[in-house]
């Protein structure tokens, strides 16, 4: 069965610092992987996705993630944090049974302080 583990429910960084949000997955088949962002009082918005093409995926707002099969990881990074990046971030993996179903991680809340 698929699962997603996000290490760290809360991450705090200084403005301008590197952002690193960790995601590890398990899947019996080649997965599709996603990062979604949720700003306060809003729905989830797709940040980026890996669908078996390039292993380094670039998304919106300067975020990127690297698919590492050997480590079963899909960590999200951004070189320099902005105050506007404060939000909750969800990693998700495709369900091997199809049906366009996604398995979501528990989420990581990112705080950015001046």
Footprint on residues 14-73 left by other proteins (CB under 8 A): 32, 34, 36, 41-46, 49, 51
- Picking from 36, 43, 11, 33, the residue whose alpha carbon sits closest to that of residue 95 is 33
Tokens 């369900």 belong to 95
C-beta of 86: minimal distance to other proteins in Å?
17
Please give the DSSP secondary-structure letter assigned to residue 26.
E
Footprint on residues 62-91 left by other proteins (CB under 8 A): 90
Q: How far apart are CA 8 and CA 30, in angstroms?
A: 25
Nearer to other proteins, 18 or 106 (CB): 106
Question: Following CA atoms 110, 19, 73, 106 in sequence, which dihedral angle do they give, to the nearest 10 degrees?
Answer: 0
Stretch that binds other proteins, among 14-22, 56-64, 74-82, 94-102 (CB under 8 A): 94-102
Residues found near other proteins in the complex (CB under 8 A)? 32, 34, 36, 41-46, 49, 51, 90, 94-95, 99-102, 104, 106-107
């Amino acid at each position: 069965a698929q699962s997603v583990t996000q290490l760290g429910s809360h991450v705090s960084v200084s403005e301008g610092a590197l952002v690193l949000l960790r995601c590890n997955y398990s899947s019996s088949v080649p997965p599709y992987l996603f990062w979604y962002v949720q700003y306060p009082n809003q729905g989830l918005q797709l940040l980026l996705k890996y669908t078996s093409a390039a292993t380094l995926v670039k998304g919106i707002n300067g975020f990127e993630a690297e698919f590492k099969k050997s480590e079963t990881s899909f960590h999200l990074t951004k070189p320099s944090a902005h105050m506007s990046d404060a939000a909750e971030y969800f990693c998700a993996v495709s369900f091997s049974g199809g049906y366009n179903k996604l398995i979501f991680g528990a989420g990581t809340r990112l705080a950015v302080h001046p």
